[in-house]
Amino acid sequence: MCYYQDPLHSNLIGNKCPVCSGDCNKCEDARTCTECKNTMYLNPDFWCEAECPVGYYKVGNADVGNTCAKCPVNCRTCTDENTCTECMDFKYLAPSRECVEVCPNNTFPQGEAETGRACPHCEKNCHVCESATVCLECAGPGLARRILGGH
């Protein structure tokens, strides 16, 4: 029996069903898979693969029907639609797991490459820092600016 995309259009080719390749369970034609099997993931190019491409995350953990979904904007790798694990395009990974242009207070920018930049937390009691060892603005009243590990 052929797979139908909708009731008005079948995928019959010359009175024959298309042959789906390898790990493809349902397809429109030999090059366009619509559902994968064998725990594979349907990627954006309509192929079945064990891993999703950069910028996509795995949805599903079944034998049939797993897909790849797009990560948030500027996110190179993620675990779901809200949780980035690595940013790209010179953005920083904030503690909130979002990709940001500028690190928020209580964090500092780390990294210079196009990918892998992060916003690690400042030391306790530091509101604004430029590195792990230089606090520019303290978080509480009566706390003086200081350079850690030295003076």
Q: What is the pLDDT of residues 46-80, one digit of tens each?
A: 999 999 999 999 999 999 999 999 999 999 999 99
Find the domain containing 112 and state its range.
89-147
Residue with the bigger pLDDT between 127 and 12: it is 127
In a domain, 114, yes or no: yes
Q: Are residues 16 and 63 in the same domain?
A: yes
In a domain, 81, yes or no: no
Q: Are residues 57 and 102 in the same domain?
A: no
In a domain, 113, yes or no: yes
* Six-digit token string for 115: 């990918």
Whole-prediction pTM: 0.73
- Count of structural domains, the chain: 2
In a domain, 101, yes or no: yes
In a domain, 40, yes or no: yes
In a domain, 75, yes or no: no
- Provide the CATH number for the domain around residue 141: 2.10.220.10
Distances (CA, A) of 29 to 13, 26, 88, 91: 8, 9, 35, 39
Task: Classify residue 7 by its DSSP letter.
Answer: T
Structure confidence at residue 144 (pLDDT): 54
Cβ neighbour number for residue 19 with a 10 Å cutoff: 10
